[in-house]
Amino acid sequence: MFLFLTRRLLIAVPTILLISIFVFALQKLLPGDPLLVLAGEERDPQVLELLREKYRLNDPLVVQYFTWVTNALQGDLGISLRTNQPVSELILQKLPVTLQLAAMSMLFALTIGVPAGILSAYKKGSLTDYIANVIALSGLSIPNFWLGIMLILLVSVKWQLLPASGYVPLSEDFGQSLRTMLMPSFVLGTALAATMMRHTRSAMLSVLSADYVHTARAKGLRERRVVLKHAFRNALTPIVTLTALLFGELVAGAVLTEQIFTIPGFGKLVVDAVFNRDYAVVQGIVLVTAVGFIFMNLLADAMYFILNPRLRGL
Amino acid sequence: MSSDQRVPIEGPTRVSPAAILRLDDFTLRFRGQTVATVNGISLSVSAGEILCVVGESGCGKSVTAMSIMGLLPKGASDVLSGDLSFMGKSYDLRRENLPSHLRGNQIAMIFQEPMTSLNPAFSVGDQIAESVLQHQGGTRAEALRRARDLLVKVGISAPDQRLKEFPYQLSGGMRQRVMIAIALANDPKLLIADEPTTALDVTIQAQILNLIDDLRRDTGMGTMMITHDLGVVAEIADSVAVMYGGEVVEYGPVREIFANPQHPYTIGLMSAMPRLDRPGGRLAIVPGSVPAIENMPSGCRFRTRCAFANETCTERPLPMAAGSGHRVACHFAPLEEHVMVQA
């Protein structure tokens, strides 16, 4: 187990290195000079030169890169060109918000998608299967922003059950925090539930016809146990993989939903930073997201380890 | 012997009071098909008896076994007729299956592919203990102790270590032994073995056959073994049911079938078997192949491939007694007499 995880960790190192180079290069390749935004309307050449000196933009690229990486490794991701706040501070402010949203969305996706997938695989070709597939397809087809707006109109405006927008930190008021996040995470979660359902369904279909499922039935076990223990256990691997991937996507890609529900999360930070050419912030976010993604996949690897006895022998 | 002496008989002829399992006139048709895949099968297994069901793939052997176990998927097929009696209780297969509490308990089954028949995610001990717990209850520790005893019984060395191992750590023969241990978990009266040695090496085949042979002697359980290998039949069977196209064409004690085969298909099967005592020459084969179920001929299902077939064969032959406990479904039985008359 130790060897297996160490190997995975060692693979992660060059991956992160590659990402850092890519992120750094991206900033240099993108059109538009952030200093022009910073220098204001006049674009005084002297001011520009001063700024270049201040942000060490006259150094050779390699030196710039190494300075950035060395600082990043120490937790210093630079300073926002726009607000003059440290980037790491900005990220630490927004990250918990997005993580909470992502976790709650994932919970919706799993609790709806996985049982629906199991049921529709087990009742393949039946009305239940058909209905589940129609709902899943609608889940995938309905745009998040539309569902979000409809929910706000219905649940918040008409029935006044849940707050329409905003964010309350978990530490401040646990219940209220969950309440404000309920709708946005439902909106995000249902879309993912559809993907989850389809993958669970196909994974279950392939294991339900396996020989060991016959063996389980021949033992006289109840169908519930045959399906949920013997079959489902072997269908878990693709579900774990998908969960890790989708979670990473949730952290990076909840922009639209965060916008609709005015949640001060990661997505909003990215969009603002891109529009303002606040490249230090963009770089920081991309790097943190990428590392988070890799971490999620490492977690998935560790899960495979628990799921697949064969790996334990390595 | 004149043809007047041929008396149509019904059902298995070897029914003794000790019959554990008896299947009468079992007919099953898959949905969407017009011809029955299994057509009027009757057979019986007594205590300590090994009945081998032989036939080409697709002749309905496995479907019959799965039906007895009640393991065919619901809604895919219809049972048109058939009575199953097990341990003195009768079940009308058109309406009901064997009660599930008997499955894995009084009737157990092992399968063709030991490599994939065990669940890769659970340890050997877990998988045996599960069967014990399901039918006998008790604690997990007790069930694991029983699992250990079962491993010893099926000839696995270092049972304590094996209990903790996972299927991928075992060879094919070892896995089949574990499957047998699972089957024996609740001292079954009947074991159904669906080609248990087909996927194994020849030396391992012999070991598994010997194990099954020993077990039925020790425990007195009846065994219904499905195979397409006449070598297996010769080695282990007490009686044989030869199946063709979903029907039992010949049925009887193993000596009788080998010494005095009556059905042209049985004769074809025998002569297709390589023999060391008559070397040289090419192996005889049964010409053609089994027609798809939709193209099964009316009357005798074998007639399109039979060398003796004539217009009488468009009528379905009834099973006829052809000796002690020996029955055959052919218009020409006993064959010597009829073929000679024809010649």
Q: What mean pLDDT, rounded, does chain A reach?
A: 87
For residue B99, the cross-strand partners are: none
pTM of the model: 0.84
Cα B28 to the chain's mean position, in Å?
16
Residue B239 parent element (H or E): strand B239-244
pLDDT at B127: 96
Which residues of B are less than 8 Å from A221 in CB distance? 104, 130, 134
- How many CA within 13 A on the CB side of residue B128? 34
Which residues of A are less than 8 Å from B123 in CB distance? 309
Which residues of B are less than 8 Å from A219 in CB distance? 103-104, 130-131, 134, 182
Of A24-33, A134-143, A275-284, B168-177, which gets the smallest average pLDDT?
Answer: A24-33
For residue B327, the cross-strand partners are: B251, B321
Residue A81 parent element (H or E): none
In B161-200, the residues whose Cβ lies within 8 Å of chain A are 166, 168-169, 179, 182
Instruction: Please tell me if residue B119 touches chain A, with a CB cutoff of 8 Å.
Output: yes
For residue B44, the cross-strand partners are: B22
Segment A230-240, tens digit of pLDDT: 999 999 999 99
> Could you tell me if residue A89 is left (phi over 0), alpha (psi between -120 and 50 degrees) or otherwise beta?
alpha
Segment B51-71, tens digit of pLDDT: 999 988 888 999 999 999 999
Select, from the ranges A35-39, A264-268, B1-5, B159-163, the one with the highest average predicted confidence (pLDDT).
B159-163
Dihedral of alpha carbons A147, A149, A153, A156, sign: positive
Of A127-136, A182-191, B18-27, B329-338, which gets the smallest average pLDDT?
Answer: B329-338
Instruction: Please tell me if residue A221 touches chain B, with a CB cutoff of 8 Å.
Output: yes
ipTM of this complex: 0.86
Does the beta-carbon distance from A221 to B113 stay under 8 Å?
Answer: no
For residue B193, the cross-strand partners are: B110, B225
Which residues of A are less than 8 Å from B169 in CB distance? 313
Ordered DSSP codes for B6-60: --B--S-S---TTEEEEEEEEEEEETT-SS-SEEEEEEEEETT-EEEEE--TTSS
* Strands laid side by side in the B326-328 sheet: B107-110, B190-194, B222-227, B50-54, B239-244, B247-253, B326-328, B320-323
How far is B68 from B194, CA to CA, in rounded Å? 12
How far is B194 from B201, CA to CA, in rounded Å? 16
Q: What angle do CA A134, A140, A141 make, to 5 degrees?
A: 85
Segment B218-244, tens digit of pLDDT: 999 999 999 988 989 999 999 999 999
Min CA distance, A107 vs chain B (Å)?
A: 25
Query: What are the C-alpha distances in Å from B299 to residues B59, B200, B329?
Result: 16, 38, 11
Min CA distance, A220 vs chain B (Å)?
A: 5
For chain B, percent of residues with pLDDT exceeding 90:
67
**8 A C-beta contact, residue B93 and residue B77:** no
**Statement: residue B342 has pLDDT above 60:** no
Does the beta-carbon distance from A310 to B130 stay under 8 Å?
Answer: no
DSSP state of B73: P
pLDDT at B339: 59
Instruction: Please tell me if residue A56 touches chain B, with a CB cutoff of 8 Å.
Output: no
Ordered DSSP codes for B267-334: HHHHHTS--SSS-SSPPP--SS-PPPGGGPPSSSTTGGG-TT--GGGGSPPPPEEEETTEEE--TT-S
Among the listed residues A185, A6, A212, the one whose alpha carbon sits nearest the alpha carbon of residue A102 = A185
Pairing of strands B19-30, B38-46: antiparallel
Instruction: Please tell me if residue B106 touches chain A, with a CB cutoff of 8 Å.
Output: no
Which residues of B are less than 8 Å from A228 in CB distance? none
Torsion of CA B53, B57, B61, B65, to 10 degrees: 120
Segment A141-171, tens digit of pLDDT: 888 888 888 999 998 888 988 888 888 888 8
Instruction: Please tell me if residue B37 touches chain A, with a CB cutoff of 8 Å.
Output: no
Of A41-45, B58-62, B94-98, B298-302, which gets the smallest average pLDDT?
Answer: A41-45
pLDDT at B12: 47
Min CA distance, A18 vs chain B (Å)?
A: 36
pLDDT tier, A140 (very low <50, low <70, confident <90, very high otherwise): confident
How far is A285 from A289, CA to CA, in rounded Å? 6
pLDDT at B322: 85
How far is B9 from B324, CA to CA, in rounded Å? 12
pLDDT tier, B4 (very low <50, low <70, confident <90, very high otherwise): very low
**Statement: residue B5 has pLDDT above 50:** no
Tokens describing residue B51: 């009945």
Which residues of A are less than 8 Å from B103 in CB distance? 217-220
Residue B222 parent element (H or E): strand B222-227
Q: Which domains does chain B have, with CATH numbers?
A: 3-106+188-342 (3.40.50.300), 115-187 (no CATH)
